[in-house]
Amino acid sequence: MAYLNSLLTFIERNPVLSVGFNIILLVISGMVAHFMCKFLLIKVVRKAFFASHKQDVPLEKDRRIAEKLSNFIPVIIVYYVLQFMPNMPASLVAAINTICGILFFVFLSIFFNEMLDIVNNSYLRKAKRKNHSIKGYIQIGKILIHIIAAIMILAVMSNKSPAIIISSLGAVAAVLMLVFQHTLLSLVANVQVSSNDVLQLGDWIEMPDKNLSGEVTDIALHTITIRNWDNTISRIPTKNFLTETYTNWQAMFSSGARRIMRSTNIDQHSVNFLSQEMLAPMLAIRGVNEPLTRLLDGRDPTGVADSWFIDNGLTNLTLFRHYLMSWLAERTDIVKDMYIVVRTLKPSPAGIPLEIYCFTSSTLWMEYENTQSAIFEYITAIAGQFSLRLYQYPAGHDFWRLSQKN
């Protein structure tokens, strides 16, 4: 014991050894505090924040918060231990205090950033609206935390009040706006996109100008991530969704129906007035009698003269259109409560476009395409029964057949 007292007396009399010993003591106290926080803070955090969880179940959130707390608590310990070392030079004390202040606000900002990440993850896991993202607001909060931390660090380094630092920022406001103009634009765009619900996670969007078509997987402050249907990833600036044209297909999925609007071309030379000779193969088709009876005002089709069809303007294309509308209305994969229209469009050199306009009961891409394909495959096959020809440009086989006839 006497040897220890003599050693301490010798150290106190030597300024260099005294300062070195105090610094070593500060480092040891910081390391001890750090390791104690690493091992003991998980229980404290669990009781304070996650008391509802079982104590024997390790939680990732416990470790993340405890790790961030263990960073800045040793800084506080070092700061207060330093106050009990009167033999330290004033300049060194001021330097250590400044370093402790800087580290404290750095670690404090990291802690609050981690808390914001935990809030975001908890929201995504527990929120009823899984497709709504608050990541943009979280990033705004992180920016504010970094700004406040930077102001406090400047105040510590300059030994001035934070109010003076904030008041002096007015002189460089124009420069800051120029430097952070993209961030400010993205901030406004993100708030508008999130608050108006014009875009949500999981939405299917198309941007023809950029050749994009896919699902929204992430909505951040500066960019929106889209996973295209070819499994490529695209990132578009958030502000582009306020200035550029895009299509959001989510409303279609919400309605429960998906539109078919496609046309096929009818050869104009095959359109003729109905006649009894022409009606014979048509009456053999199931489902023709009902639309034909409506067109004939209840008359018997076999007893109507050919001149009546001419006088009333009833053509094979007219009957074909009405038959297709009745046929579509009977399909189980077509919505009956929405428009079912079969119409002819403006004639062109490629023939008369016959357009099908209806809505499928399934919005899934595969089922939608199967329904659409089945409809037009049927039209292609059944048109000949109505003495109609589908138009297509002549191919080599057509010229060969013509040469064989000659």
Q: Which value, in Å, is the radius of gyration of the alpha carbons in the chain?
A: 39
The count of other CB atoms within 10 Å of the CB of residue 278 is 17
Contact, 282 vs 319, CB < 8 A?
yes
How far is Cα 75 from Cα 156, in angstroms, rounded to an integer? 15
What pLDDT score was predicted for residue 8? 47
Residues of the chain with pLDDT under 50: 3-4, 7-8, 10-11, 52, 56-58
- The structure tokens listed for 264 are 């096929």
CA nearest 159: which of 106, 98, 107? 98
The DSSP annotation for 350-365 comes to TBEEEEEEEEES---H
What pLDDT score was predicted for residue 176? 62
Order across the sheet with 247-248: list the strands. Answer: 233-237, 223-228, 212-219, 204-207, 247-248
Contact, 7 vs 17, CB < 8 A?
no
Contact, 352 vs 265, CB < 8 A?
yes
What pLDDT score was predicted for residue 240? 79
What pLDDT score was predicted for residue 137? 73
Alpha helices in 298-347 (DSSP H): 306-311, 316-330
CA nearest 186: which of 221, 149, 134, 137? 221
What pLDDT score was predicted for residue 128? 52
Strands 341-344 and 258-266, sheet pairing: unpaired
User: Residue 78 contacts by C-beta under 8 Å, 6 or more apart in sequence?
Assistant: 26, 29, 30, 33, 96, 100
The DSSP annotation for 186-231 comes to HHHHHHHHHHHTSS-TT-EEEEGGGTEEEEEEEE-SSEEEEEETTS
Q: How many CA atoms lie within 13 A of 279 on its CB side?
A: 21
The count of other CB atoms within 10 Å of the CB of residue 19 is 16
